[in-house]
Amino acid sequence: MTTSDVLIVGSGAAGLTAALNLADRFRVTVLAKGALNEGSTAWAQGGIAAVLEPGDTFENHVEDTMVAGAGLNDRAIVEFVVEGAPAAIARLQALGVPFAEEAGALHLTREGGHSHRRIVHVADATGWAVQEALQRAAEAHPNITLLPDRVAVDLATSRHEERYSGAGHVWGVYAIDRATGQVELHTARATVLATGGAGRTYLFSTAPRGATGDGIAMAWRAGCRVSNMEMMQFHPTCLYNLDVKNFLITEAVRGEGGRLVNPATGRRFMPDYDAERLELAPRDVVARAIDAEIKRYGLDYVHLDISHQPADFVRAHFPNIHDKLLGLGIDMTRDPIPVVPAQHYTCGGIVVDRDGRTDLPGLYAAGECTESGLHGANRLASNSLLECFVFGEAAARHIAASWDGLPPVPSIRAWDESRVTDADEEVVIKQSWTEIRRFMWNYVGIVRTTKRLERAKHRIDLLTSEVEDYYGHFRVTPDLVELRNLLQTADLIVRSALHRHESRGLHFTLDHPSTLADAVDTVLVP
């Protein structure tokens, strides 16, 4: 059990940014469900979007974000984030992130949907450098306690008070300590969810194994609205390899000239789908184009080819990808890279306001687990890390400003440990996990139909009753927590998709192929 001023669940870009902005004044505890660097942040490749190029403007970045977001973005939030970008980059530099430079200035690369060179990066491993710098600073701060290997199970709310106050407040979380298997209580006056996305709801995803939508599911169960969960982003270019299933080939490869080619015809095909923006069209457009080529020609993959660029240039810009591919027998300076689209980013999530506040008093959220209004129906490349920095800081600022009004933590009940474990059932968890991910991939992917969504919903309902029964009778384990959350998130995705009777951004359905005049968020209320 821990008691702190502020509890942060998640040690990626959003969680550690919030922690560092609070720690000079408050005692902060940060939980992570595995190692501290096992979230998506450390895996980010391309970089962070910021207006820094002479001739570029905030208006351009806002406009590009809104175009990608297909009308669902909240303009005021987009402006807030875009205008916060240069300062966020400066703070990361101050923490020691070694961004690439050229001729004494930051080197800016290009990605899809951006009208200018705008992406600040550390070669092709930006996230790793960012995670290291944030973690180093957090580890050095005397007011921050970092607790890896703690799997949050559920929020502790007013329902868990010894004397029920009815205030609907969030007082922290119950979390499994992996070392002991026990569920412990971690309380605080303010709690920040920074738990990342839900990519592992899908069979093929670029996201790390822990991206099971835990924060979204916990917030939903506690009474928070979630929004736009049907807007699941598929990255166009994940490596196609039967052994390595989730290695991203950064969009910056297309930004630096990479072309998409149909291996059956040898033709560059993006001119047929978006003659103007070609390979640098927004992700939904490029992913659907690849999907269409694969289906039309019965392919397993398409080719991404940057071999026309000088070999030194390719090696200098993409050293990690180059080395990884070489280990798999592909020399990207000479060979085309086989790629397929894969789930990449969760645009929807817990509804938050500009201060990172959720619907529940005492509960904040930041980063990929949220729907802040920034991304709309499709996230613009490299706007995600940026959102983590801006909203991690905004939540911290609001907690500090409203601290005196936050009530002290009352007495909260300990977790009921009277349930038993049945080891035989572990196999059920593994099977259900695979089943969910497979039907989500097949029925709730890049191109949807109402019938396929209904099929997915039917299976989710069956599995939910099984898992809830299991959850009610057996001791909770990390695997069971993730399975329950995965199922909850899959349900939210499918219900949101069934709710939207149009195609917009990342949600494309053959039954409603046109886009309605009014852009409306899908908001689910518990």
Q: Which does 195 bind (CB under 5 to 8 A by kind): ligand FAD, ligand SIN, none?
A: ligand FAD
Which residue is it, tokens 């092709």?
Answer: 124
**Least distance between ligand FAD and beta carbon 56 (Å):** 17
Q: What does the alpha-carbon distance between residue 164 and residue 157 come to, in Å, rounded to a whole number?
A: 10
205 binding ligand SIN? (CB under 6 A): no
**Least distance between ligand FAD and beta carbon 346 (Å):** 8
**Residue spans of beta strands (DSSP E) within 279-372:** 302-305, 337-346, 349-351, 363-365, 370-371
32 binding ligand FAD? (CB under 6 A): yes
Choices 156-164, 190-198, 433-441, 452-460; region in contact with ligand FAD by CB under 6 A: 190-198
151 binding ligand FAD? (CB under 6 A): yes
45 binding ligand SIN? (CB under 6 A): yes
Q: In terms of CB distance, is 261 or 381 closer to ligand SIN?
A: 381
Q: What does the alpha-carbon distance between residue 419 and residue 220 come to, in Å, rounded to a whole number?
A: 24
**Least distance between ligand SIN and beta carbon 122 (Å):** 12
14 binding ligand FAD? (CB under 6 A): yes
Burial 147-181 (b: 16+ CB within 10 A, else e): bebbbbbbbbbbebbeeeeeeebbbbbbbbeeeee
Q: In terms of CB distance, is 236 or 362 closer to ligand SIN?
A: 236
Instruction: Supply φ then ψ for residue 76, to 5 degrees.
Output: -60, -40
Q: What does the alpha-carbon distance between residue 4 and residue 27 come to, in Å, rounded to a whole number?
A: 6
Q: Which of 18, 248, 289, 446 binds ligand FAD (CB under 6 A)?
A: 248
Strand 370-371 and strand 349-351: the pairing is parallel
Instruction: Supply φ then ψ for residue 185, to 5 degrees.
Output: -100, 130
Q: Per the residue annotation, which of 118, 189, 283, 288 is the catalytic one?
A: 283
Q: Which of 384, 432, 485, 489 binds ligand SIN (CB under 6 A)?
A: 384
Please indicate whether residue 150 is annotated as part of the active site. Answer: no
237 binding ligand FAD? (CB under 6 A): no
382 binding ligand SIN? (CB under 6 A): yes
In 3-state terms, the chain is what percent helix, strand and coil (to 5)? 40, 20, 40
Cβ atoms of residues 389 and 444 within 8 Å: no
Angle at which helices 214-222 and 478-499 pack, to 10 degrees? Answer: 70
Q: Which two tokens stand for residue 220?
A: 């939903």
Strand 170-177 and strand 144-147: the pairing is unpaired
415 binding ligand FAD? (CB under 6 A): no
Which residue is it, tokens 């609070």?
Answer: 22
64 binding ligand SIN? (CB under 6 A): no
DSSP 281: S
Q: Which of 10, 15, 46, 338 binds ligand SIN (CB under 6 A)?
A: 46
Positions in the binding site for ligand SIN (CB under 6 A): 45-46, 250-252, 381-382, 384
Name the site residues for ligand FAD (rule: CB under 6 A): 9-15, 31-34, 38-41, 43-48, 126-127, 150-152, 194-196, 206-207, 210, 214, 248, 345, 367-368, 382-385, 388
Q: Which residues are catalytic?
A: 283
